[in-house]
Structure 1
Amino acid sequence: MATLTDRLDYILGRKAARSLEEHLGIRTVNDLLRHYPRKYSDGTTVLDENDELEEGEHVTFVDVITAVKVGNMKPQYDKKTKRTRTRKYVRITLGRRKPVVTATFFNADWMLNDLVEGTRLILSGEVGYFRGTLQLTHPAFLVLESPSGRMIGSKSMKTIASTAGATGDELLAAFDRDFFPIYPATAKLQTWEIYACVRQVLDVLDPIPEPLPESFLREHNLISEDQALRAIHTAERAVERDAAVARLTFDEAIGLQWALVQRRFSDAAGSGPSAPLRDDGLVAALRKQLPFKLTDGQEDVLKVISAELAGTRPMNRMLQGEVGSGKTIVSVLAMLQMVDAGYQCALLAPTEVLATQHARSIRDVLGPLAMAGQLGGAEGATRVALLTGSMSPQQKRAVRDEVASGEAGIVVGTHALLQDAVEFHRLGMVVVDEQHRFGVEQRDRLRSKAPDGITPHLLVMTATPIPRTVALTHYGDLETSTLRELPRGRQPITTNTIFASEKPAWLNRAWQRIAEEVAQGRQAYVVASRIDENDTGPDNAPDHKNGSDKTKAGRKSEGGPPPITVLELFDRLRAGPLAGLRLGLMHGRLPADEKDAVMNAFRTGEIDVLVCTTVIEVGVDVPNATVMVVMDADRFGISQLHQLRGRIGRGQHPSLCLLVSRLPSTSHAGKRLTAVASTLDGFALADLDLAERGEGDVLGYNQSGRPITLRFLSLRDHYDIIATARAFCEQRYRRTPDDPRLATLAAPFVDSDRVEFLEKA
């Protein structure tokens, strides 16, 4: 007998088990039984004359061969024998059906004596059509009455037949069913082979222990684990399969949440650096000198964060909020609380532009409080260090020394902070900005630079609002705080769409509007989706392995003319509609010093219009910029457009964002742009983005580079199930943290050899 945790080689044999592992990553009984059918073929055993089948549909026939054609394949050279061999193919006609049904087998020399007229057999495969003939190419088959008396057929069908222990008409009964499960398969491991393995395992499987309480099953009207895992593969009635799906949906939700709660609570088991809030330190000093009042939302979030920093349990918190909602000042006050307690803080940013912006803005808001050891520095001040990859070796060495000695209380940097050469004196807190650009492994690598025995507090920030279900799943190892209220005095942003192919005059008016704003002393952005013709995606968007921000819309357009590049756009504007204005060019391939120079010139007003790519998507703060024109906006995703729009509306003047597309307004992309223009609510757009892209894109890739797969659980439709699963797992973990049955449910999400952990949206 077998259990869910048993290895398959003990049940199926080494060869079959190796094939399942090699092609599908399936190793245990649990893995195999949770490789669910992707669909079921209904009523396909013996078809009526009037039945119609669609191409690609899986079908099973039981009939007699009425015609046989044998032919030669193209000669092939055999390296072993060093001879050229000509193998045979055979094409058989099945019964006297309309349309005609044929099946073709290649390399068929071994079966010619058994596939003869009058032979009765079973054929199963995917439907194809050629000139009105229904044809199956190399289908699974089994000869029911072989002239030679041998069992002839595909390995998978022979296995099913031998497992059923039947012959003749009894053998038919093993296949004569109202349905067949069709599994996700590969060219080298077909659905029938998987079905044969499942049947073999189920025949020896012990009753499956129930991981969930009986009261939980009754409350949610769920069948048992044992019933579900058997019915999903073998039940012939749809109502039984539906009940199995309902139960297995909960299994996925609970397995995922158990993996997340284990991570959440295992981090909590570490020793967090306690930093009680002081009323005489840098936090108090900064609050006194702030030129603005914090919003109620900021104050509420700070109370929660401050209390967690004062405790000995490491904080694991995500701070999400609208663009411009004031997350940065919250993080600065949190970091100062740690500095007041004698610890250092690291702020990790995805790009040099953003890291530089953060370092500058933190120094600006702190003023003398960030000038320790300098003339004019305040008593008890700290220092803010910046470390990026483009710095010279001498600059990097100087910053690393400042960090290692503890002189720098706040260290801002890019991936350069993760290098082994960077050593902290007493790291107590890690802040990760635009956290979707980083993975669990990267933020943990930075946390590991703390002194032995200390697990630094973690604050991750995102200006991309996250749908509720994604927050509970993909970011479920983090507690979540949300800032919805914008700081007082923020000006509204009007967003309009321009469909240039339908109303070209509107685009001309957009350039006039920029000129009018500049004439009033203000500035503008013009954004393109590509740097040049060799660019394949939105600028500054890394690939999936390093954390992608590309969306389906950003990678592929719905036709239309080729996108205008930023280099082409820059030349066109300065020679045409914006001639006479001071234009600057900014994109991700510029050297770091040129980027800094351009951004500084734009920030100080020396540049009127910044023609750029998405390198300015996050972190850039120029309050005087009041207009943004996004060219080929259909090539950006919803969240990316919302991020870009957040670069304006940051000052005292009303702002205008224009989304330009050369696709029709009635196209799918046109409707998406209209939806973005209709609201400034990033959380509503996040839900739209989830529906638009599908949860596969939103969940993204794990650390091994493979996508997280949820077979039944939907991030769009199952919020209540996910929330219920989270509450259940938290309650159960506190009582039984080593529950082996829930660990089995969580295996697909924590198996370190296969799926290290959820990461990157």
Structure 2
Amino acid sequence: MASTSASFTPAKTAKKRAPTQADRFKRLGLMSDDDFIVHLPLRYEDETQVNTISQARPGEFIQIEGEIVQQEQSARPRRQLHATIADETGQLRLRWLHFYPNQQKQVEVGKRVRVRGEVRGGFHGLELIHPKVTQADAALADALTPVYPTTDGLRQSAIRSAIHQAIERADLRDTLPPEIVQRLELHPFAESIRLLHSPPSQTSYQTLIEREHPAWVRIKFDELLAQQLSLAAARAARLAQQAYPLANSDGSVRQGLQSSLRFELTGAQQRVIAEIAHDLRRAFPMHRLLQGDVGSGKTVVAAFAAAQAIDSGLQVAMMAPTELLAEQHYQKMTAWFEPLGVRVGWLSGSKTAKQRLPVLTGLKEGTLPLLVGTQALIQDSVEFKHLGLIILDEQHRFGVGQRLSLSRKGEAASPVGLMVPHQLNMSATPIPRTLAMSFLADLDVSVIDELPEGRTPVITKLVADGRRDEIIAHIYAQVNQGQQVYWVCPLVEESETLQLQTAVDTQLYLNDHLPGITVGLLHGKLSAAEKASVMEAFRQGTISVLVATTVIEVGVDVPNATLMVIEHAERFGLAQLHQLRGRVGRGADQAVCVLLYQGPLSAIARERLRAMYETTDGFEISRRDLGLRGPGEFLGLRQSGQELLRFADIETDEALVEQARNCAMLLREQYPEHAIAHVRRWLKGREDFLRT
């Protein structure tokens, strides 16, 4: 009987297809003619003239002609090729970190050549590294040579050729009405595109490099205008949606919350509570950003919004980015609401299925009005009966998809159509005006610009790593006066494992140097119960010094803690340093934040530490941070892989932002077809990204 098992030959491993030129262009986002025409140069090389060696300046591109007077090879630290070129004004070194025989032949002693490259300062004076070598006395270019963003395997010549072909085929008609172009004194679009890709020799090199040429101004304006049009469309779309009006702003839960508070609300808190209450009473979804510096009292404002929703018979979901912060919100909400007969649920990734069951059941049946938790709230198993309000704390820490997922859990069909939940976004990172105007124009913004009474500004001190003994002595003094201390460990190569080890080592170090003082340890690897236990011991004063990783960055509130030591402060971002500093100074006593740094400092690290030393104003910190980090990280949009602005700079182009915003309103009202054409040219499907 023949065997029924089929014999087989192992398949040969398929060869990986080599990327084509089209693949490489696609990697740069270049697929259509419209993509190519706005793939604009990073910089320009001036091949229209020959310079003398005496004109060489560090950081500038230069083209010189001369005779090779010396050539040699070195073996250390690696095999390199060195040559020296001379003209009537001096000599200049040329260096190749790796080279081929034909390059060595190009710069033989006695040859007259033309070399071009960026001037750099080396150990032996000015030099060109890997300069381009061509024949001397060749014809000069008649225009500046553009240098484009590229990718592996894609030569500049191929990009230039593809762009020139695209310009010939593309529709370069202006998307703006002629009267708008004339009124705003804008450079024509087609002329701007052609000039930036092929600038004539007489074009000012400086205005091109600094993006101040009228052609660059037009491109930056167009980009900002497309953004403003998209945000205006997003706002209009939201106003067209429907939401349940939360009319009971003076209901029993809200009144009970007001009566039970043991502190006076600040004027700023009362103002933003009223703004939010007004929004919640409307029949379209609120989309409001609540900004407030660390310690300004945003959580109680959110509680009043939640009370209004609960009084209206709807459910509330409050989501925070970390379990520690979410649990603190849960504890506060429980203390405020449960005495009023309002059940508060808690959900996190560390909860077992058995622990989740009563919470999930209460949500689905509508018997659980208020749920607080982490990203666990967006899991498929979480179903609300009637979700009317979403509160996102530190909203920029969530991805776009996570925010949308929670919002969609509240979308519900009704006799009058789809109902969308109201949304309140909270941030302890104040957004600079230009950033809000550029990226948050579809949001309403409330600002708590007043700290609760009794708060004193935190004193910030910069201390070099070698002065640890002084810090230890200061900790002794603080603890002996009944105060408590945070000691925050640094980020280490973005590694949670290494960061944990650093925290463990620091605890051991402090135990050795602070005998008789209890030193606790808090880090992300602890279970939720362990974290809660450590934090409760710190709140109660059983632990005097708490060594922690950045899990205490936001939300942790221990009024008795008056000293914050941030080790290797130079490794932290500016916003993160400000957030950490905000963990102290929450009581009546004077608080101090010590930024312990290790030199030498990079230029950026020096700027961060200087900013922390000079100001405690969250808006000023944010303005400086924006300049260091850019808008993507600031808004929590960097992870999408899309560039927010490719050409405009919201710090230096503030006037253009204002102009684009006004123009967007005019186009939408009087020239809707032009508005559609403009967005289509510049965004091509990225509108939703900008609107989230």
Task: Please give the TM-score of this superposition, normalised by the length of structure 2.
Answer: 0.81
**Per-residue deviation, 1:191:** 2.0
Within a 5 Å distance, the mapping from 1:419-498 to structure 2 comes to 419-450=379-410, 451-452=412-413, 453-487=418-452, 489-498=453-462
Within a 5 Å distance, the mapping from 1:83-162 to structure 2 comes to none
Specify the alignment match of 2:529 in structure 1: 593
1:603-629 deviations in Å (ceiling 9; x for gaps): 233322222121111111222222222
CA distance change for structure 1 residues 440 and 235 in 2, over 3 Å: closer, same or farther? same
In structure 2, stretches of 5+ residues that fail to align are: 1-18, 69-83, 106-111
CA distance change for structure 1 residues 499 and 134 in 2, over 3 Å: closer, same or farther? closer
Within a 5 Å distance, the mapping from 1:691-706 to structure 2 comes to 691-695=627-631, 698=634, 701-706=637-642
Q: Following the alignment from structure 1 to structure 2, what is the Cα–Cα distance between the partners of residues 359 and 351?
A: 12
Q: SS where residue 493 of structure 1 aligns?
A: coil
- Of residues 16, 30, 36 in structure 1, which corresponds to 2:34? 30
Deviates more, 1:508-517 or 1:415-424: 508-517
Specify the alignment match of 1:529 in structure 2: 490
CA RMSD in angstroms, aligned pairs only? 4.2
Q: SS where residue 318 of structure 1 aligns?
A: strand
1:725-749 deviations in Å (ceiling 9; x for gaps): 2343245335666632221354167
Deviates more, 1:185-194 or 1:313-322: 185-194
CA distance change for structure 1 residues 281 and 196 in 2, over 3 Å: closer, same or farther? same
Within a 5 Å distance, the mapping from 1:666-705 to structure 2 comes to 668=603, 669=605, 672-695=608-631, 698=634, 701-705=637-641
Alignment partner of 1:296 is 2:267 = yes
Q: Following the alignment from structure 1 to structure 2, what is the Cα–Cα distance between the partners of residues 479 and 615?
A: 30
Specify the alignment match of 2:224 in structure 1: 253
Specify the alignment match of 1:657 in structure 2: 592
Q: Following the alignment from structure 2 to structure 1, what is the Cα–Cα distance between the partners of residues 125 and 517?
A: 66
Is the Cα–Cα contact under 8 Å of residues 268 and 448 in structure 2 kept in the other structure? yes
**Per-residue deviation, 1:443:** 0.8
- Of residues 663, 666, 680 in structure 2, which corresponds to 1:728? 663
Specify the alignment match of 1:324 in structure 2: 295
Is the Cα–Cα contact under 8 Å of residues 526 and 631 in structure 1 kept in the other structure? yes
Q: SS where residue 238 of structure 1 aligns?
A: coil
CA distance change for structure 1 residues 56 and 603 in 2, over 3 Å: closer, same or farther? closer
Q: Following the alignment from structure 1 to structure 2, what is the Cα–Cα distance between the partners of residues 132 and 304?
A: 63
Is the Cα–Cα contact under 8 Å of residues 495 and 658 in structure 1 kept in the other structure? yes
In structure 1, stretches of 5+ residues that fail to align are: 1-13, 67-92, 113-119, 145-168, 370-376, 540-563
Is the Cα–Cα contact under 8 Å of residues 61 and 119 in structure 2 kept in the other structure? yes
Alignment partner of 1:20 is 2:25 = yes
1:393-452 deviations in Å (ceiling 9; x for gaps): 111122111111111111111010111111110111111001111122211110111223
Q: Following the alignment from structure 1 to structure 2, what is the Cα–Cα distance between the partners of residues 714 and 622?
A: 40
Task: Please give the TM-score of this superposition, normalised by the length of structure 1.
Answer: 0.74
**Per-residue deviation, 1:284:** 2.1
**Per-residue deviation, 1:16:** 5.9
Q: Following the alignment from structure 2 to structure 1, what is the Cα–Cα distance between the partners of residues 194 and 52?
A: 34
Specify the alignment match of 2:4 in structure 1: none
Task: Report the AA paired with residue 20 of structure 1.
Answer: F
Alignment partner of 1:41 is 2:45 = yes
Q: Following the alignment from structure 2 to structure 1, what is the Cα–Cα distance between the partners of residues 240 and 224?
A: 24
Q: Following the alignment from structure 2 to structure 1, what is the Cα–Cα distance between the partners of residues 315 and 244?
A: 11
Q: Following the alignment from structure 2 to structure 1, what is the Cα–Cα distance between the partners of residues 581 and 382?
A: 36
Specify the alignment match of 1:211 in structure 2: 175
Alignment partner of 1:266 is 2:237 = yes
- Of residues 306, 331, 335 in structure 1, which corresponds to 2:306? 335
**Per-residue deviation, 1:494:** 3.2
Q: SS where residue 419 of structure 2 aligns?
A: coil
Paired residues, what number?
Answer: 642
1:69-89 deviations in Å (ceiling 9; x for gaps): xxxxxxxxxxxxxxxxxxxxx
Task: Report the AA paired with residue 256 of structure 1.
Answer: Q
**Per-residue deviation, 1:48:** 5.7
CA distance change for structure 1 residues 138 and 194 in 2, over 3 Å: closer, same or farther? farther
Specify the alignment match of 1:346 in structure 2: 317
Specify the alignment match of 1:115 in structure 2: none
Specify the alignment match of 1:742 in structure 2: 678
1:69-128 deviations in Å (ceiling 9; x for gaps): xxxxxxxxxxxxxxxxxxxxxxxx99999979999999999xx9xxxxxxx999988899
Specify the alignment match of 1:717 in structure 2: 652
1:273-306 deviations in Å (ceiling 9; x for gaps): 2111343331122222222232221222122211
**Per-residue deviation, 1:215:** 4.7
Within a 5 Å distance, the mapping from 1:406-425 to structure 2 comes to 406-425=366-385
**Per-residue deviation, 1:332:** 0.9
Is the Cα–Cα contact under 8 Å of residues 126 and 139 in structure 1 kept in the other structure? no
**Per-residue deviation, 1:585:** 1.1
Is the Cα–Cα contact under 8 Å of residues 99 and 133 in structure 1 kept in the other structure? no
**Per-residue deviation, 1:484:** 0.6
Q: Following the alignment from structure 1 to structure 2, what is the Cα–Cα distance between the partners of residues 26 and 614?
A: 40
Q: SS where residue 521 of structure 2 aligns?
A: strand
Specify the alignment match of 1:641 in structure 2: 577
1:522-572 deviations in Å (ceiling 9; x for gaps): 432222225899647878xxxxxxxxxxxxxxxxxxxxxxxx922112112
Alignment partner of 1:517 is 2:481 = yes
Specify the alignment match of 2:505 in structure 1: 568
CA distance change for structure 1 residues 659 and 734 in 2, over 3 Å: closer, same or farther? farther
Q: Following the alignment from structure 1 to structure 2, what is the Cα–Cα distance between the partners of residues 395 and 498?
A: 46
CA distance change for structure 1 residues 716 and 606 in 2, over 3 Å: closer, same or farther? same
Q: Following the alignment from structure 1 to structure 2, what is the Cα–Cα distance between the partners of residues 508 and 667?
A: 27
Alignment partner of 1:604 is 2:540 = yes
